[in-house]
Amino acid sequence: MSWQLTDDVETFAATAGDFLRSRPIEHTTLLTVLATLQRRGPYAYGPAEPVLGWWSTPAGQVSGVLMQTPPHPMMFSELPPRAVPAAVLALSGRHLPGANLPADAVDGFAAGWRSRAGVRTQVVRRTRLYRLESLIFPAEPPPGHARYAGPDDRSLLQGWLLAFHDEIGERRPGDPLAAIDDRLAYGGILLWEDGGQPMAMAMTSHPEAGMVRVQIVYTPPVRRGRGYAGAVTVVAAQTALDSGARDVVLNTDLANPTSNALYQRLGFRPVEDRVIVEFTR
C-alpha cells in the first residue's frame, strides 16, 4: 500500500475518478475541484501546479485521495488508518499552508506534519457537510423572486464573492471574475431580487455524479434578517433537483449557528464534520 503523487489532472482523474464518484456526497468538494481543473486547466485556482495523489492497495484499488491547489490547503478524502502517517512521509519536503481532513483523521496528520516539518498547527475552521433530505419551504417567504444571474451582474457578483471570502476568513479566489464566468456559463448563480434590487445570492456547483453543492450563499449585512438567504437557497436546491440532481449538499462553518440552524430548517441533515488546520513557522 502506498501513495502515488502527480500533477497531471487527467492521470489523476483516470485513476481516482471511480473512487471519488463512489461517494459523491462525501467527496463533493474533491469532485467539483477536479471538474474545475479539467474545465479551466491546472492553474484554475492559482499560479502553481496542483498536487494530486491516491492511496492504493497492493491490488491497485484506490481507497483514499489527496488534492492541493496551491496556495490552498491540502484536502484529503476519508483515509484508511495506515494512509495518514504514510501521507506525512509522501508529502515530506513540500510546503503545506494547511490541511483539510475528516474530523477523525486531522489529529494524526497534524501531529505527524508538526513533527516532520517543524511547524506549528492551529485549527482555523470546523465545518459540517449537510445533505438535503426533504426540502422544506419557508412558511413566510420574503417578498421578491429569484432569477438567474447574467453577465450584467458580474461587477456585483465579484464584490459579493470577495466579501463572502473576507467575512469567513478564507483566501480570496485568484481570479474571481473567471470563477464567476465559469458558473454563469452553466446557470450556477441565482439572485433573489426585491423591488428590482438584488438582495442575496446562491452559487451552485456544476452537477457531478448526480450531486450538486450549494457553494456560496451571501447576503450583504444591511439586508440580513429578512429571509433572503433561505429563500434563494431553497430555489437553488429545487432548481438542482428539477435539473436531475439526486443529491444536494452544502458545507457550513460550525462557528456560525445561524447558518447551521437555517439549513436544518430547510431540510438539510448532517453527514460529516471536517477540520481545517493551518501550518505556520
The total domain count for the chain is 2
pLDDT at site 264: 97
| Residues 34 and 144 both lie in one domain | no
Give the CATH number, domain containing residue 139: 3.40.630.30
Name the band, by pLDDT with cuts 50, 70 and 90, for residue 168.
Answer: confident
Residue 261 counted as domain residue: yes
* HEC per residue, the chain: CEEEEECCHHHHHHHHHHHHHHCCCCCHHHHHHHHHHHHHCCCCCCCCCCEEEEEECCCCCEEEEEEECCCCCEEECCCCCCHHHHHHHHCCCCCCCEEEEECCCHHHHHHHHHHHHCCEEEEEEEEEEEEECCCCCCCCCCCCEEEECCHHHHHHHHHHHHHHHHHHCCCCCCCHHHHHHHHHHCCCEEEEEECCEEEEEEEECCCECCEEEEEEEECCHHHCCCCHHHHHHHHHHHHHHHCCCCEEEEEEECCCHHHHHHHHHCCEEEEEEEEEEEEEC
Based on the fold, state whether residues 92 and 157 are members of the same structural domain.
Answer: no
**Domain hosting residue 73, numbered range:** 2-118
Same domain, 12 and 68: yes
Q: Which three cell numbers stand for residue 237?
A: 436546491
Q: Is residue 277 part of a domain?
A: no
- Shared domain check, 178 and 244: yes
Residue 126 lies in a domain: no
End residue of a domain, out of 60, 91, 118: 118
pTM assigned to the model: 0.93
pLDDT band at 57 (very low <50, low <70, confident <90, very high): confident
Residues 21 and 50 in one domain: yes
Q: Are residues 266 and 158 in the same domain?
A: yes
Q: Which of 61, 88, 118 is the last residue of a domain?
A: 118
Same domain membership, residue 242 and residue 190: yes
Same domain, 29 and 80: yes
Final residue before a domain boundary, out of 118, 150, 174: 118
173 and 92 in a single domain? The answer is no
* 249 shares a domain with 208: yes
Q: Does residue 281 form part of some domain?
A: no
Residue 280 lies in a domain: no
Degrees to nearest 5, angle at CA 163 with 157 and 167: 145
In a domain, 279, yes or no: no
pLDDT in tens, 246-274: 999 999 999 999 999 999 999 999 999 99
Looking at the fold, whether 32 and 142 belong to one and the same domain comes out as: no
Please give the pLDDT value at position 59. 86
- Indicate if 260 and 137 belong to the same structural domain: yes
Backbone angles phi, psi at 261, to 5 degrees: -70, -40
Q: What is the tens place of the pLDDT at every residue in 175-224? A: 899 999 999 999 999 999 999 999 999 999 999 999 999 999 999 999 99
What's the one-letter identity of residue 174? G
The residue with greater pLDDT, 59 or 146, is 146
Q: What percent of the chain has pLDDT over 70?
A: 100
